[in-house]
Amino acid sequence: MRKRHGSSHAEHAALLSEIAGAVVARTMDDLPVPVRHVLSRIPILLERLPSREDILTGLEPDTLGRYEEDEQGLARIRIWIENVWDYSDCDEGIFREEIQTTLLHEIGHALGWDEDDLEERGLG
């Protein structure tokens, strides 16, 4: 799915979001029930790109995803689909794989795994 000549950035982002949403749904359905239960309280947000505020607070502009938890214990997973698309060399098959890998990586953080734990599971 290369960006078609003449298609707008909004159309492209909407298509990427649709593809990523389907991958997220399928991935969540495949998780064990206890893990899905834990994640049911954690929103998964598909965003186009990190915001200016994100970058000003230290987030790298090319970050693929992030698990965040605030002081009140509210958590969320954010995936930046344009960054994943660029990382995937604009290849739809690779994009689908990378969305799933990024999601599973961030789910690992939500479950309390550190980078070494994720690396051991092939999600580093």
Distances (CA, A) of 89 to 39, 75, 82, 116: 30, 30, 11, 27
44: which strand partners? 77
1 assigned to some structural domain: no
108 assigned to some structural domain: yes
Full domain range(s) for residue 29:
9-120
4 assigned to some structural domain: no
Tell me what pLDDT residue 123 has: 55
80 assigned to some structural domain: yes
- Where residue 54 sits, what CATH number does that domain have? 3.30.2010.20
Residue 6 clears pLDDT 90, i.e. is over it: no
Residue 118 clears pLDDT 70, i.e. is over it: no
79 assigned to some structural domain: yes
3 assigned to some structural domain: no
Higher pLDDT, 2 or 87: 87
pLDDT tens, position by position, 49-62: 999 999 999 999 99
Cβ neighbourhood burial of 50 (10 Å; 0-12, 13-18, 19+): buried
How many structural domains compose the chain?
1
pLDDT tens, position by position, 70-102: 989 899 999 999 999 999 999 999 999 999 999
> Over pLDDT 90: what percentage of the chain?
69
d(CA 124, CA 121): 8
